[in-house]
Amino acid sequence: MSQYYPLSLENAIVYARSIPDFFTADANLSCEEIGDGNLNLVFKIEDPISAKSLIVKQALPYAKVVGESWPLSLDRARIEREALVIQHTLCPDLVPIVYGGNQELAITVMEDLSDHTIMRKGLIDGNTYPRFPEHIGRFIAHTLFYTSDLGMNQQRKKEQAARFVNPDLCKITEDLIFEDPYRDVPNNDFSEDIILEVKQLWEDTELHLEVALLREKFLTHGEALLHGDLHTGSIFVTAQSTKVIDPEFAFYGPMGFDLGAIIANLLLNFTAQPGWSDNTELLEERRQWLLTSIKNVWDQFENHFRRLWNDYGIDPISKTPGYQNLYIQKVLRDAVGFAGCKMIRRIVGLSHVADIETIQDDELRHQAKVTALQIGKALLKYGRSTSSIDEIIDLTKQIVQTEGVSL
């Protein structure tokens, strides 16, 4: 990586011009750095005449989190680029186009999606995305099925898994999601008002057992090429379109992990809702929409996944009666458990979500955190015995009623 240097605006333009057949030779290109600078530089390069634009994304050799900075492998840019290419091949309408890349500079050049909104922001703004469940359910079903032993050559899959060994970024997940929140370590970050709930978390060994089992799955179950960080901040949306970005955490892991990320982040937005509306009727409607979306995401995933299995399954023994049902049940249970981990870490761990953190009212923000912890713990404890997504919806409703959060 000795040839690596961080791009300037001018470098980024030069690089953008090197993409064949995109900009005309005489185009007068503008360039703007639009990233948050924590992990990557993100340049938007535009030709104001043709209105064509693209993104040059460059990985930085470190991560900045809450003022701290630690080194991070540049190889993640290769992983992200290769994952994007695979995911785009499998779901062309749901993943940005990759125009090119450079290994030494840790660069990926890709489609500009500035006409889309980051879904987390869109949800906080109160928008709805009626096509999202079909889009994300299909994205997850297709990308997981076709990279798994069910849908691809099982020898090529092993070699592909080796190319997606991703120790640095998996380490972040292993620490921040599956370890830190459950013990008193400096990496945690929680507000003083939930100290009692957090201490309960540290002492709840029944919960730790579930976390240990889920951590084991994350460490050892190489089922499919996961996105690996599929929260609502990794998804661009409009009313009509969904685009999944940022798969730098991609690796071969358990299928339930990507689904769990979606469920957790919709539930985090759900718990934040009282902070965003004082109209009881609108609040109720909004929460119902979020719960229905969770159910629809699962149902869309399941329907697409079963159809792919039945029509394109390559493994004769996978057609054995009863096996598909057991497999789907496993994915659901894993998804529920992972969703629980992902909710808890966003309240107790290093990295929080704007859905809750930007609630202005202290009491409503506090209540959102407590509710998120309650739901997260319940998902962890019921995960291994879940038999349908409806149970999870009902469980969530019960907790909200018990917590006395106004509906």
Q: Residue 80 has which token pair?
A: 């992200």
**Site map for a second copy, 270-309, x if CB under 8 A?**
----------------------------------------
Binder among 8, 28, 69, 320 for a second copy (CB under 8 A): 320
Q: What dihedral angle (degrees, nearest 10) is formed by the CA atoms of 145, 178, 385, 367?
A: -110
Centre a 10 Å sphere on the Cβ of residue 126 and count the other Cβ atoms it contains.
11
Binder among 205, 360, 385, 387 for a second copy (CB under 8 A): 205
Return the DSSP state at 278: -
Neighbour-count burial for 380-395, b at 16+ CB within 10 Å, e otherwise: bbbbeebeebeebbeb
d(CA 49, CA 80): 31
Three-point CA angle 166, 169, 171, nearest 5°: 100
Considering the rule CB under 8 A, would residue 64 count as an interface residue with a second copy? no
Centre a 10 Å sphere on the Cβ of residue 404 and count the other Cβ atoms it contains.
9
We find the least distance from the C-beta atom of residue 177 to a second copy, in angstroms, to be 11
Q: Element (H or E) spanning 142, and its range?
A: helix 132-145
Nearer to a second copy, 66 or 209 (CB): 209
Considering the rule CB under 8 A, would residue 186 count as an interface residue with a second copy? no
How far does Cα 146 stand from its chain's mean position?
19
Nearer to a second copy, 34 or 326 (CB): 326
Considering the rule CB under 8 A, would residue 200 count as an interface residue with a second copy? no
**Site map for a second copy, 211-250, x if CB under 8 A?**
xxx-xx--xxxxx---------------------------
d(CA 204, CA 326): 30
We find the least distance from the C-beta atom of residue 378 to a second copy, in angstroms, to be 19
Considering the rule CB under 8 A, would residue 165 count as an interface residue with a second copy? yes
Q: Is 308 annotated as belonging to a binding site?
A: no
d(CA 232, CA 165): 24
Considering the rule CB under 8 A, would residue 20 count as an interface residue with a second copy? no
Question: Which parts are annotated binding residues?
Answer: 40, 57, 111-113, 229, 246-248, 345
Query: What is the contact surface with a second copy in residues (CB under 8 A)?
Result: 149, 154-156, 158-159, 161-162, 165-168, 170-171, 174, 178-179, 182-183, 205, 208-209, 211-213, 215-216, 219-223, 315-318, 320-323, 326-327
Question: Which parts are annotated binding residues for substrate?
Answer: 229, 345
